[in-house]
A and B are shown apart, each in its own frame.
Chain A
Amino acid sequence: MDKNSSVYTFGFAAIVTIVAALLLGFAATSLKPLQDINADVDQKSKTLLALGLFEEGMPAADVQAFFTAEGKDGQFVVKFAVNHQGEPVEAGEKELKVLELEPQVKNVAEADRKYPIFAFYDSKENFEAKKATQFVIPVFGYGLWSNCYGVLALDSKGKTVNNLVYYKHGETPGLGGEIEKEKFSKSFVGKKVHDEKGEVALTTHKSPVGDTQVPAISGATFTMDGVNLMLKTYLTIYGKYFEKNNQGGGK
């Protein structure tokens, strides 16, 4: 057969494409379960990171254990979701799979969003009584070069910060990149979310005063602007849940 004929060329292209497609389809399908588990463990470990329970190289089974009904070492984490009004909503496995809020914020209308939230119980009694001791919420915001993704741990009333950990960002090392450092995380510990008027007031500031301001990183103004906006946005949204929860007698 003439190798330069159109028929041969088309036929060859078709065969190559079909073989490649079949191969990739097979690989994608057969590796999917493993990849899903990886993504799940990854997300759960981020939550544990905010709670200070995650260690580098922690086995996947240990990470998963916190999220089971048996818990791990008497500690339990339960994941659920709230809507834009702060009401707990039914959310399927699929919706809860993604920790990052970004895809939802980009693609889903406010009314239909399901914001993931994690409740932490430090003992079996509290777990059974549904008295959460801490909450973890995912947060994200812009930086100078990239979006920055973090997890924020709050006390049981959602009024005091226990931890803020950035786990993914593309900021300049040494400047904006300092947000991932322990020093920055530590400066949030014990800070209050609201001012006296009950407004969300937690923010970074170059000369911080009071218990709602955190020292800003110098040389990273734009990143800090992103951090401030992020705190304001998500503490307001999740704040509605805490408000309802606190009124309801701390369910």
Chain B
Amino acid sequence: MTAEPKEPLFSKKNMKLMKDPLIDNNPVAVQVLGICSALAVTAQLKPSVIMAVSVTVVIMFSNLIISMLRNFIPNSIRIIVELTIIATLVILVDQILKAYAFEMSKQLSVFVGLIITNCIVMGRAEAFAMGNKPWPSMLDGIGSGFGYGIIIIIVGAIREVTGAGTIWGKEIIPDFLINLGYVNNGLMVLPPGAFVIIGLLVWLQREITKKYEAH
């Protein structure tokens, strides 16, 4: 079931699977998936990072497991089987966070559970893992997770700095600026702030890759 002996583990093709979703085919910026959680948990940097890691772990293992089972999963119930596997992994992540990162799990609250409904996870399982070998599937999962993670970490960092004047919970706005009348941007604390930043990131991504439809 492993890759054919001729193909090395980190062949160009495999590496492309991992690098592609970072910029060229970013799940958030290009496919516009996973927006819900990208709005909800990105008010601060720390929960964004935890969320990014959680989602990456879930996609990685769901892709791996589903790819390993792909020849056995009956076609008529494949979606529900994928969902069961994803849900199991998500609950595991939730339980582990509750045991080892209690504060974070409280802050992320329902959004850990909602990883189940993150379209990126289901999308990769259905579009890639069902038709590819375990190793490439896992790389694809890691890549997609990073692609999602990089966006929410950027959004989280910008929102925390502009909205709360802190980064990773530490005050960074110098006193003299506050004395000069600097105020935090309240909009950035609210979900619409994330929309604005994601919009700007999508624009930036299009500019870098030059992949857009001419109108």
Interface residues of A (CB under 8 A from B): 3-4, 8-9, 12-13, 16-17, 20, 23-24, 27-28, 31, 34-35, 38-39, 41-42, 173-174
Interface stretch among B16-24, B73-81, B127-135, B145-153? B73-81
Instruction: Please tell me if the beta carbons of B186 and A27 are within 8 angstroms of each other in the complex.
Output: no
Instruction: Please tell me if the beta carbons of A38 and B75 are within 8 angstroms of each other in the complex.
Output: no
B76, B92, B98, B102: the one contacting A23 at CB < 8 Å is B92
Assembled-state Cα–Cα distance A170/B77 (Å) = 39
Instruction: Please tell me if the beta carbons of B189 and A35 are within 8 angstroms of each other in the complex.
Output: no
Interface residues of B (CB under 8 A from A): 72-77, 80-81, 84-85, 87-88, 91-92, 95-96, 98-100, 102, 106, 186, 189-190
For residue A24, which residues in chain B have a CB less than 8 angstroms away from its CB? 88, 91-92, 95
A3, A17, A31, A41: the one contacting B84 at CB < 8 Å is A17
For residue B73, which residues in chain A have a CB less than 8 angstroms away from its CB? 12
Q: List 12 A-B contacts (CB under 8 A).
A: A3-B75, A4-B74, A4-B76, A8-B74, A12-B77, A20-B85, A23-B88, A27-B91, A27-B95, A27-B96, A35-B98, A174-B186
How many A-B residue pairs lie within 8 Å, measured between CB atoms?
A: 59
Assembled-state Cα–Cα distance A4/B75 (Å) = 7
For residue A13, which residues in chain B have a CB less than 8 angstroms away from its CB? 77, 80-81
A9, A17, A28, A173: the one contacting B74 at CB < 8 Å is A9
A38-B98, A38-B99, A173-B190 known; A20-B84 Cβ under 8 A: yes
Assembled-state Cα–Cα distance A204/B50 (Å) = 39
For residue B84, which residues in chain A have a CB less than 8 angstroms away from its CB? 16-17, 20
A4, A12, A31, A173: the one contacting B72 at CB < 8 Å is A12
